[in-house]
Structures are given as C-alpha cells and as structure tokens.
Amino acid sequence: MNQLTNIFKLLSDESRLRMMMLLYQQDLCVCEMSGILSIPQPRVSKNLSKLRDLNLVSDDRREKFVFYNLKKENILLTQTLEHILEHMDQYPQIKEDSERLVDKEKFLNQCCIVCEA
C-alpha cells in the first residue's frame, strides 16, 4: 500500500508528473528537462533526486552530462503514464511538453555553453 500512495503523491505534483512523462518517452539530462519544461535547473535536480531516492529513475553519465531515464519496472506507474500519453489531447501542458522534445538538443547545447564558461 505504501508504494501505491507514494506513486500517487508523486503524480500529484505537476512538475514531477511532467518530468516523468518526458522520461517515459526519452532519456534526458537536467538541462534538456529544464529547457523543455521552463523550470529552473535546481528545481528539476531536486525532483530528480526525489525520484531517484524512490528508485523510479536511474542516471547514466555520458561525457560531461548525466542523463536520466524512467525505470519501467513499476507497472502501476508505467501504465498510468501510458494512459496519459494515449490521451494527451486532454492534457494541453503534457502535449506541449511532448512537442518540445524535438527541441531538446537546443537545450543541451545551452547547457554546454554554461559548462564551458
């Protein structure tokens, strides 16, 4: 029961829900998520830390970036996210975030500029 309530607590936060929806679709780094969602990088990092502590995401270092991916072992979570994705037209913000995924490279490059400064 604890796992069930934790999942719904996580999904009740709009930022975390939006982040999990993006990670359900693709692996992303903090800079990409921050740019796509228009959320400050520290807030994205804090939410990712919480998701990692609950063993819902994992990270993978690629060169100077850390990419996050959604662990898909939690069936309740993945089925819920899949349902939202299938009915995205009912959720304009989720749809907009998904459409902005094509611009993810632009945000990664912005992060590179910050990293090299």
The 10 Å Cβ neighbour count of residue 31 is 22
User: What is the residue extent of each domain of the chain?
Assistant: 2-116
As given in the structure block, the two tokens for residue 37 are 């969602």
Question: In the CATH scheme, what architecture does the domain 2-116 have?
Answer: Orthogonal Bundle (1.10)
Cβ atoms of 44 and 30 closer than 8 Å: yes
Average pLDDT over residues 80-100: 96
DSSP string for residues in 29-81 = EHHHHHHHHT--HHHHHHHHHHHHHTTSEEEEEETTEEEEEE----HHHHHHH
Q: What is the pLDDT of residue 92?
A: 96
Give the amino acid at 86: E
pTM of the model: 0.88
pLDDT at 9 over 80: yes
Of 59-68, 86-95, 96-105, which range is least confident?
59-68
The continuous run of DSSP H or E covering 115 comes out as helix 104-116
pLDDT at 113 over 80: no
Q: What is the pLDDT of residue 105?
A: 86
Relative orientation angle of helices 104-116 and 30-37, to the nearest 10 degrees: 120
For residue range 19-69, what is the model confidence (pLDDT) as tens digits? Answer: 999 999 999 999 999 999 999 999 999 999 999 988 899 999 888 888 999
What does the mean pLDDT of the chain come to? 89
